[in-house]
Amino acid sequence: MSVDHTGSIALTSGAQDLDHSIHVVLLTAPGERLMRPQFGCRIWDLLFEPVNANLLGLISQAVRDALAQWEPRIAVEDVRPVQDAKDSSLVRIEITYRVKATNDRRNLVYPFYVIPREDS
């Protein structure tokens, strides 16, 4: 949802709506929504983990599971988390999906920042 040029509320539609919906799923941690406590993505359980191959695999699976459950309009083809070369706390989650109604193939990159634990 956004504001259009007249100041009225502009609702998203089509591909923009799907991208927004995917972001909502990924931005929500399970337990955040009172009436739907299972809604969301478990990547937030991984927020304080060190970035390594194991974490990237867990992120990929969490995103696949969440989108399969909460966004029935798409078929996820690939989820590829990649650690940023310049910012070690940034993991770019590259998602390739197909819109079931149109068979349109789309890509989306979701930035996920981890907070590494301080070693004492």
Q: Indicate whether 18 belongs to any domain.
A: yes
Taking the model in full, what pTM does it have?
Answer: 0.84
Q: Please check whether residue 118 lies inside any domain of the structure.
A: no
In the DSSP assignment, the letter for residue 103 is T
The 10s digit of each residue's pLDDT in 85-116 is 999 899 999 999 999 999 999 999 999 999 97
Instruction: List the beta strands (DSSP E) in the chain.
Output: 2-3, 9-10, 74-83, 90-99, 104-113
DSSP-based three-state secondary structure for 119: coil
What range defines the domain where residue 87 resides? 2-113
For 20-71, what is each residue's pLDDT tens digit? Answer: 999 999 999 999 999 999 999 999 999 999 999 999 999 999 999 999 999 9
86 within domain boundaries: yes
